[in-house]
Structure 1
Amino acid sequence: MPITAEQLEGIATGFHGIAEQHFTANGRVVPALWFIPDAGTARLVEMPQGVIDREQTAQIARTDRPSAILLAGESWMGSVTIPVEAAKKLPIDDIPRPSQQPDRREVISTFGVGRAHDGSSLHVMRATLILRTVFGTQLVPFDLNPDAEREDDYAAFLASLLPGPAQPKRRR
C-alpha cells in the first residue's frame, strides 16, 4: 500500500492546519492519530487523555493496514539541565519537565510516516510555535532539523507498523 512523498506532505499539511485551527478555537490541541489506508476510509483516533498505548496503536494498524500514519498534538520543547548527582537523588516524578523550564517553547507538531512505492520509509514533520504575549497568542510556523522525525522513537514505532512491500512469490 504505497503513498507518494507529495501525498504524505499534503496530508500532513492539511492535518497540521486542522490542529492549528482547533488550537485557535479552543486554546488547545487534542492529540490525534490518523491512519491513512491505500483505499477506503481513513481512521481518526482522537486521544483527549494523551497518546494511547502502543499495543492499541499496533492493533489499529494491523486491522487497517495503513499506507501512512500521522500524529498531531501540542507539546512543550525545552532543555532540562540538572546536574547528574542531583538527578540521581530525585524520584523520577520530581525531575523537572520541559514545561517547567523558563526557556520552554510550546508547539503544535504533526509528524507522519508512510511507505513509498519502492518500499522505503517516508517522513514528514510540521511544527508551529505558540507565542503567548501580552498582545495575545500568535502561531508561528518553523522548521525543525529535517532528520529530527527519524530520530524520534515514536515515529520509528509508527513506521514499523506500516505494511512492508509485497514480497515476490517463491518458485517451487
Structure 2
Amino acid sequence: MIAISDPPSILTEHDAGDVADLYARCTDYFMLQDGEPATLADAIDMFRDVPDEKSSADQTIMGWRGENGLIAVGVILRDYPSDRVWYLGFMIVDSAARGQGIGRTIYDMIEQWAAAHGAQEIRLAVLEANEAAERFWRSLGYRELRRVGPDTFKSRSHHRVELYRLLGSNLTVPPAQ
C-alpha cells in the first residue's frame, strides 16, 4: 500500500506544477471528463475556479504526498451553496494508488476537517458517466440530491449527479435545495 502524508498540506497556486504532474498520472479521468489530457493551465485553473459569488479565499485545496510526490488533491468550498453546506468541488487520487483505500482515507480527513471548521453537510457532483466514482461516493453514505446539466467540459458534455452527506448531529435533517 502507498503511504500518504498525514496531515495533508494546504496547496497554493505555487503547487500548480505538482498538481499538473498528478493530473498527468490521472489521464483516464480527464479523458472521460474532457476528451483530452489535462494541462498545466487546468492545474492553475483549479486554484481560481470558484462560483461568481465566492472568492478563492473561500476555498481550501489540500494535497497528500507519497514517496513519489503529490498523490491526491481535495478541493473544498466553504459555505456553498449556503451557510454550513460545504462543496467538495474536486477530489482526485493518482491512478496507481486507487483501489487501496486511499480515497476513503483522504475523504475521511476532508470530512473531519470540514466538520471541525463548521460544516454540517457536504455536497459534491459526479459525472453520470463515471459510474465507479458514483459507487464510491454512495458507499460513503452520499445520497442523490438532484441531477444537473448537461454541462460542457472542453470537448465533452455531461450530466452530473449532485450528492450530499449530512455530518454529525444533522444526520436526520433533510438538505435544503
User: Is TM > 0.5 for Structure 1 vs Structure 2?
Assistant: no
* Bigger relative contact order, structure 1 or 2 (CA pairs below 8 A, ≥6 apart): 1
Question: Structure 1 length normalisation: TM-score?
Answer: 0.26
TM-score (norm: length of structure 2): 0.25
